[in-house]
Structure 1
Amino acid sequence: MTPKKRKKDGEDRQGGDGGGDRLAAYRGKRDPGRTPEPVPEEKALPHGDDDTFVVQEHHASSLHWDLRLERDGVLVSWAVPKGLPWSPDTNHLAVHTEDHPLEYATFEGEIPRGEYGAGTMTIWDRGTYETEKWSEREVKIVIHGSRVSGRYVLFRTRGKNWMIHRMDPPADPGAEPLPDSLRPMRPVEKARLPRDQEAWGFEFAWGGRRMPAYVEGGRTRFTDDRGRAVDGPGGLGSRLGASLGARPVLLDGELAVLEGREIYMIYDLLHLDGHPLLDVPYRERRERLDELDLSGPRWQTAPWFPGDGDAVRLAAADQGLPGVVAKRLDSSYEPGEDSGAWRFIPVTS
């Protein structure tokens, strides 16, 4: 960036101590013999065009995203717990952290346990940015990335706490936020399997507690079968949220006890990446849920079997499960309804 352009952008620097060693705080928190992170020995020197940005997904003690902007030979950095906002309707907290070396813009790896920032670091997005304003209290930029682009402003609120606001309209104008609450669809009970089994998908009935999961910004909240907020088992929400990262998702499932352990069994996908899926046929919702590959120590995607209800019912009886749930392959999701498009068939009748 030329001196003329820098004066126009704003003369104040954010982070560091002016003419001193701007990476002193960074080096003081890291042992180069233990961490794979870049730890340059020399003082930071201005080089480059002050136009590089990177967003890194950091699975540390709590999942967050690190926004880093090249400025005067270092990466000025903020930790953003919920990621960059996709809409101007919501501001996200951004906590200003120590300046990082420029080499950090390409860093991915595992920071060892016991070290500062221990956990997995991956690059979520990177590209270039333009500076519209840079002062001690406000930074306005235009980001050009592959996953996020647009005008953003960071403004200081108190101490190290800042907020980040998207100034443009949403990148996806058709995107909708997750609903605050949704009452799950329920099956009606029938004694027999459907005659036209090829038109149905079959799942095990787990006999658990119904708990839709709302995942956004790496965090998860749950509601019960009446749409009321409930707490999930300790650790489930944070781990499930971390597995989905920044993707906003609404899942339907239940907390079941399998072999003495509580497992969250996921069997429907109702909202994905800003788009409701309630009107999408069950077969497509299940296929898209399978593509998410959700499987972890406390959760898993429940299996489903198109067109083979007799075999599923026999397997349910062998495993001591209460029955099977038949779902029409072409059925939409009807929140809060007892619908004949879903049928619960007990293993004994």
Structure 2
Amino acid sequence: MSDKLERYRSKRDPKRTPEPVPDAPSASPGGDAFVIQEHHARSLHWDLRLERDGVLVSWAVPKGLPADPGTNHLAVRTEDHPMEYLTFHGEIPKGEYGGGTMTIWDTGTYETEKWSDREVKFVLRGDRSAGRFVLFRTRDKNWMIHRMGDAVRDPFPALEPMLPAERARLPKDPSAYAFEFAWGGRRLLVPIDGGRTDAAREHPWLRELAESFGSRSAVLDGELATLGGAEILLFYDLLYDDGRSLVEEPYTARRAALEALGLSNAHWQTAPSWPGEAGPVRQAAREQGLPGVLAKRLDSPYEPGSSKAWLFIPA
């Protein structure tokens, strides 16, 4: 009988890694366990492991499980892992195989509908990953994973910013608005999905922000501005969060969701906002040499293109 863990053990030294390195496979009581681990290694990915014949048959999924049946994700077949990996989490030392932080993203049981050398069809029963999936091999022997059934999240909104109308005077009813600084920078919408963002092509430092979101999807609206001689990305709106579109939500709800993210770093911050504080914010903008202020209606949805719900008032 072949040793299904031989390849696994050959890649690991139990004296150098906290990972379990058992001598032989061992089955769980039910024989149908699974685990998905979020793995911040050289590149962020998710490890899907399905129990089969005393081991965890494993695939690395760079973008995580697909939420939409219209989009398949790459799934790289890796070595079988021991059953002890069902509960493993921790730090694999840098320089070791798979070095980085590993956390348990979801765990539970699954039902096998089909299992062959080229196709694995199954139903996951976990807290975060419930649903039917199929893993299938392509012509070049790579694997892909496909979600079967309905999408489990809203589609991403169109990536077009909401633009303010210009006014010379502050609104007559300031209590209906939140007031923010106009920074005089460049608008930037940042879509994040699967721990990655296309905005990192132009701004590589945004890879760190995207990875920090893990599997949480988002679309952030902000502005690249120069403050104190340094460029910083100031976020002031959230269009999409964790699989749900927020564009129809009022500004107050979007703002609360944005602040709950706690975005704070040397490269990015959540821009301040002051509901009802028209005069003081405009005065502060003048004193700081900023172009002006933005007045945003508290009850307004996010409307791509020019909108009278947002007003730019020169300082």
TM-score (norm 1): 0.84
Structure 2 unpaired stretches of 5+: none
Answer whether contact 1:96 1:160 (CA < 8 A) is retained: no
* 3-state secondary structure, aligned to 2:14: coil
Q: 1:293 to 1:167 in 2, by over 3 A?
A: same
Question: What one-letter code is carried by the residue in structure 2 that aligns with 1:155?
Answer: F
Partner of 1:140: 121
Distance in 2 (CA, whole Å) between partners of 1:47 and 1:332 is: 50
Q: Residue in 2 aligned with 1:221?
A: 198
Residue 232 of structure 1 and its aligned partner are, at CA, apart by 2.9
Residues 140 and 345 from structure 1, CA distance in 2 versus in 1: closer, same or farther, beyond 3 angstroms?
same
CA contact (8 A) 1:212 1:253 kept: yes
229, 234, 242: which one pairs with 1:273? 242
Aligned twin of 2:269: 300
Once residues 113 and 310 of structure 1 are traced to their aligned partners in structure 2, the CA distance between those partners, rounded to angstroms, is: 53
Instruction: Measure, in 2, the Cα distance between the counterparts of 1:169 and 1:160.
Output: 27
Shift of 1:158: 5.0
Is contact 1:58–1:119 with CA below 8 Å preserved after alignment? Answer: yes
Is residue 207 of structure 1 aligned with residue 195 of structure 2?
Answer: no
Distance 2:119 2:268 in 1: 42
Kindly state the Cα deviation for residue 258 of structure 1 after the two structures are TM-superposed: 2.4
8 A Cα contact 1:190 1:345, kept in partner: yes
4+ residue runs over 6 A deviation? none
Distance 2:283 2:17 in 1: 53
* Contact 1:47–1:73 (8 Å) recurs in 2: yes
Counterpart pick for 1:81 among 41, 62, 74: 62
Matched, 1:340 2:308: yes
The residue matched to 1:219 in structure 2 has which SS?
A: coil
What SS does the corresponding residue of 1:182 show, helix, strand or coil?
A: coil
2:11 is matched with which residue? 29
| Aligned pair partner of 2:144 in 146, 163, 182 | 163
Deviation at 1:311, TM superposition (A): 2.5
Rounded to whole Å, the distance in 2 between the matches of 1:297 and 1:33 is: 38
TM-score, length-scaled by structure 2: 0.92
Tell me the CA shift for residue 192 of structure 1: 3.1
For residues 45 and 229 of structure 2, what CA distance do their matches in structure 1 show? 33
State the match for 2:94 in structure 1. 113
Partner of 1:9: none
Q: How many residues align?
A: 315
Contact in 2 for aligned 1:48/1:73 (Cα 8 Å): no
Answer yes or no: is the 8 Å Cα contact 1:247–1:273 preserved in 2: yes
Contact in 2 for aligned 1:182/1:336 (Cα 8 Å):
no
Closer, same or farther: CA 292–139 of 1 in aligned 2, 3 Å: same
CA distance in 2, matches of 1:116, 1:319: 51
1:47 and 1:72 in contact (8 A); partners too: no
Pair 1:68 & 2:49 matched: yes
Higher deviation after alignment, 313-322 or 289-298:
313-322
SS of the aligned residue for 2:80 comes to: strand
| Other-structure match for 1:227 | none
Q: CA deviation at 1:146?
A: 0.5
Tell me whether 1:195 sits opposite 2:172 in the alignment.
yes
RMSD of the TM alignment (CA)?
2.0
1:72-109 per-residue CA deviation (whole Å, 9 max, x = no partner) reads: 22111101011111222111110001111111111121
Cα 1:317/1:61, change in 2 over 3 Å: farther
1:322-341 equivalent positions in 2, closer than 5 A: 322-337=291-306, 339-341=307-309
8 Å contact kept, 2:179–2:293? yes
**Is residue 2:205 matched to residue 1:235?**
yes
CA distance in 2, matches of 1:31, 1:313: 62
Cα gap change, 1:323/1:37 in structure 2, threshold over 3 Å: closer, same or farther?
farther
Residue 318 of structure 1 and its aligned partner are, at CA, apart by: 4.1
Deviation of 1:36 (Å): 2.2
CA deviations on 1:43-74 (whole Å, 9 max, x unpaired) are: 22445332111111111121111101111221
Q: CA shift at 1:159, angstroms?
A: 6.0
Q: Secondary structure at the match of 2:37?
A: strand
Aligned residues with identical type, % of pairs: 63
Q: Is 2:91–2:102's contact at 8 Å kept on the other side of the alignment?
A: yes
Question: Residue 211 of structure 1 aligns to a residue in which SS?
Answer: strand
Contiguous gaps of at least 5 residues in structure 1: 1-18, 223-229
